[in-house]
Amino acid sequence: MAAFMIGVCGCKKVSNSTHTGGNTDTATAADSIYNPVDPSPSATIGFFGNSWTGRTFTAPADSMVAVSSLVGTDSLTINVNDVLVKTPPLVYGNNSNPYMGQIITQPALMQYLTDLSPNVLRGPGGSLSDVYFWNGTAANPAPADAPDSIYQTGGTLGPLGPWYGGNTAGWTLSLANYYNVLAQTNTTAYLTVNYGYARYGTGTSPVDSAAHLAANWVRYDNGKTKFWEIGNETYGGWEAGYQIDTTKNHDGQPEFITGALYAQQLNVFADSMRAAAQETGATIYIGAFLATSTSESVPNWNQGVLSNIGNGADFFIIHDYFTPYEQNSTVATILGTGTSVPAADMSYVKQQLQTYGLSTKPIAMSEWNIQATGSKQNTSYVSGMHAALTLGSFIKNQFGEASRWDLANGYLNGDDQGMFNIGDEPNAPLWNPRPSFYYMYYFQKCFGDRMVYDTLRRAMFNTDLTTYSSTFTSGQAGTVIINSGAYNHVVSIDFQHFPAGAKYQWYILTGGTDNAPFSSQVYVNGIGPATPTGGPLNYSSIKPYGATLNGQIKIAVPAMSVVYLVADSK
């Protein structure tokens, strides 16, 4: 197949190939000019897109190579005028947790986070949010009406735990240092308040006490945080507050949570928190939890929430861990979910809102990852490839916010969902970045502020390749090409309506040879880690490959690799 030529008057056309675009009319003279038009704002992004700004790509020094002489196997046509969506800036997020230590004292990790630039960092952390008291101190870690023990997963009683904002011990992350991390890494706050306390509290009105506690956090926060979740995975049997000891409850709540009760109590939270925000002159947005089609452990949860929520929620939240729970999933199973799950989840949430008569609102996926076990999948480069597939799919499906779970966890022989080594991984330095870090770092580095439509014509109708294309306000255009298959490809690229510049640059990320097929290593343009796991720590100074843009772009895409490419403009 002949390589496509780069020009400013390419003809719009489609074939029986993968086309993710909109306009397919025949080109006109005016059509051939670079003149992108932004679509109407997406309701599912909404206010999460308020921080959008045009991005400037500054081309780094590169290592010039010759254009590939191999015959093209696939072709990609990118219409830079046909904008799908302005890239929502908060889809690159991550999660902190309160057991990762006072990380503000860890300069290596702080630099990694600054370089990663997640834009949003959720706290205080997952399920522990529902037993977390933001204003607790060593002398008074929890309110007097919080019980010593609560129901845990499986219906057994266990201790409430030492989770409070004023805990300054070295093993935990204090609330003050959460805020310090945000300031040091130029990251937006996103907080989950303790909803569980509204259920297990022993006072005369637990929901009022819990709502008052949340409102006081809004006052204390004083405008730092715009996005507030009410509880974490409130539909789940693993959550504090899912089941309560009714003998200690004094406002007649049922033993087990329902969607309707959650919605009614969320409205109490929302009223108190909005009043507090008004006092401080802050703008805040309140989020409510919905279940996905595969996570609804409480019967009719969404029906109960959406039939009773009214205007209590400004946005809706889902979580998804993509792969089957704790199965030894294959490479194909893992990578297949990177594109299928975000699309299915967004479709399902929209359908649920429509079914129960609510207008579409911004959607956040504030926790996501894979949950494969047994072969070190989570710490492998395959997890990194999955992250690249997922980021592109979040943008394409127009999620407003997304935060990967999480920065650090526990190694568990490679079943660790943490992006960094918390210190228990053998033969790896403290805070060593896992492969997923590299795939997400280069994605954001090379992906522009607008996703544009593209058309991929695959060789022999293979399904190996996935592409996400974009433009920068500074003029450059690029694409991310993910090869999830076992065969090498050569992709010829045609940027339509693009004022081509002098050259193009790209990075290729591949895995190592250890622990096949789930290597714990990642190589960037052939440069690998100095340790048995992770990637090259000089990632920020690795030169991209570069080639003269003399009318042709042709890129070799190895099996199981991700290519991040940016083309210069005039």
> Domain check: are 121 and 239 in the same one?
yes
d(CA 444, CA 411): 26
Q: If you ran DSSP here, which 8-state letter would residue 6 be given?
A: P
Of the residues 252, 276, 311, the one at which a domain ends? 311
> Domain check: are 43 and 158 in the same one?
no
Flag whether pLDDT at 172 surpasses 70.
Answer: yes
Q: How many helices (H) and strands (E) does the chain have?
A: 9, 22
Q: Are 225 and 190 in contact (CB under 8 A)?
A: yes
d(CA 72, CA 2): 7
Q: Are 55 and 472 in contact (CB under 8 A)?
A: yes
Q: If you ran DSSP here, which 8-state letter would residue 68 be given?
A: P
Q: If you ran DSSP here, which 8-state letter would residue 148 be given?
A: S
> Domain check: are 74 and 223 in the same one?
no
Q: If you ran DSSP here, which 8-state letter would residue 156 be given?
A: -
Longest dimension (CA), the chain: 77
Domain assignment of residue 332, yes or no: no
β-strand 188-193 against 227-230: which pairing, if any? parallel
Mapping DSSP to helix (H, G, I), strand (E, B) and coil, where does residue 450 land? Answer: strand
What does the pLDDT average to over 57-65?
A: 94
pLDDT the model gives residue 299: 86
> Domain check: are 266 and 120 in the same one?
yes
> Domain check: are 54 and 107 in the same one?
no
d(CA 214, CA 276): 9
> What pLDDT digit, counting tens, does each position of 295-352 carry?
767 889 999 999 999 999 999 999 999 999 999 999 999 999 999 999 999 999 999 9
Domain assignment of residue 110, yes or no: yes
Count Cβ atoms within 10 A of the Cβ of residue 566 and give its class: 0-12 exposed, 13-18 middle, 19 or more buried.
buried
Q: What phi and psi values does residue 210 have, to the nearest 5 degrees?
A: -70, -40
Provide the domain count of the chain: 2
> Domain check: are 74 and 127 in the same one?
no
Mapping DSSP to helix (H, G, I), strand (E, B) and coil, where does residue 550 land? Answer: coil
End-to-end distance of the chain based on CA atoms, in angstroms? 28
Mapping DSSP to helix (H, G, I), strand (E, B) and coil, where does residue 469 land? Answer: strand
Can you tell me which residue has the tokens 């109960």?
304
> Domain check: are 74 and 184 in the same one?
no
pLDDT the model gives residue 297: 76
Q: If you ran DSSP here, which 8-state letter would residue 542 be given?
A: P
- Taking CA 188 as the corner, what is the angle to CA 242 and CA 368, rounded to the nearest 5 degrees? 45
Of the residues 241, 276, 311, the one at which a domain ends? 311
> Domain check: are 193 and 228 in the same one?
yes
> What pLDDT digit, counting tens, does each position of 354-379 carry?
999 999 999 999 999 999 999 999 99
Structural domain of residue 170, as residue ranges?
103-284+296-311
Q: pTM for the complete prediction?
A: 0.94
**C-alpha gyration radius of the chain:** 24
Bridge partners of residue 380, in order along the sequence? none
Q: What phi and psi values does residue 520 have, to the nearest 5 degrees?
A: -90, 10
Domain assignment of residue 354, yes or no: no
β-strand 489-496 against 149-151: which pairing, if any? unpaired
Flag whether pLDDT at 14 surpasses 60.
Answer: no
Q: Are 464 and 484 in contact (CB under 8 A)?
A: yes
CATH number of residue 71's parent domain: 2.60.40.1180
Domain assignment of residue 561, yes or no: yes
CATH number of residue 137's parent domain: 3.20.20.80
Mapping DSSP to helix (H, G, I), strand (E, B) and coil, where does residue 541 land? Answer: helix
d(CA 57, CA 62): 14
> Domain check: are 48 and 109 in the same one?
no
Q: How many CB atoms lie within 10 A of CB 399?
A: 26
> Domain check: are 38 and 108 in the same one?
no
Domain assignment of residue 340, yes or no: no
Mean pLDDT for the chain overall: 93
> Domain check: are 65 and 114 in the same one?
no
Confidence of residue 29 (pLDDT cuts 50, 70, 90): very low
pLDDT the model gives residue 16: 31
Count Cβ atoms within 10 A of the Cβ of residue 101 and give its class: 0-12 exposed, 13-18 middle, 19 or more buried.
buried
> What pLDDT digit, counting tens, does each position of 93-108 carry?
999 999 999 999 999 9
> Domain check: are 68 and 137 in the same one?
no
> What pLDDT digit, counting tens, does each position of 109-168 carry?
999 999 999 999 999 999 999 999 999 999 999 999 999 999 988 889 999 999 999 999
β-strand 450-457 against 18-19: which pairing, if any? antiparallel
Percent of the chain scored above 90 by pLDDT?
A: 89
Which runs of E-coded beta strand occur in 58-98? Answer: 63-64, 74-86, 93-95
Read off the tokens for 97: 């947790």
All residues at 6 or more sequence positions from 418 whose CB lies less than 8 Å from its CB, including other chains: 406, 407, 408, 409, 410, 434
Mapping DSSP to helix (H, G, I), strand (E, B) and coil, where does residue 507 land? Answer: strand
d(CA 400, CA 419): 22
Flag whether pLDDT at 209 surpasses 60.
Answer: yes
Flag whether pLDDT at 28 surpasses 90.
Answer: no
Domain assignment of residue 512, yes or no: yes
> What pLDDT digit, counting tens, does each position of 516-538 carry?
999 999 999 999 999 999 999 99
Confidence of residue 4 (pLDDT cuts 50, 70, 90): very low
Buried b (16+ CB within 10 A) or exposed e, 468-493: bbbbbeebbbbbbbbbbbeeebbbbb
d(CA 406, CA 96): 6
d(CA 482, CA 421): 26
> What pLDDT digit, counting tens, does each position of 555-568 carry?
999 999 999 999 99
Read off the tokens for 472: 């920068």
Confidence of residue 458 (pLDDT cuts 50, 70, 90): confident
Flag whether pLDDT at 31 surpasses 60.
Answer: no
What does the pLDDT average to over 380-394?
A: 98
pLDDT the model gives residue 24: 38
Flag whether pLDDT at 11 surpasses 70.
Answer: no
d(CA 439, CA 388): 6
Spatial CA neighbour of 564 closest among 519, 527, 510: 510
Percent of the chain scored above 70 by pLDDT?
A: 94
Domain assignment of residue 109, yes or no: yes
Confidence of residue 32 (pLDDT cuts 50, 70, 90): low
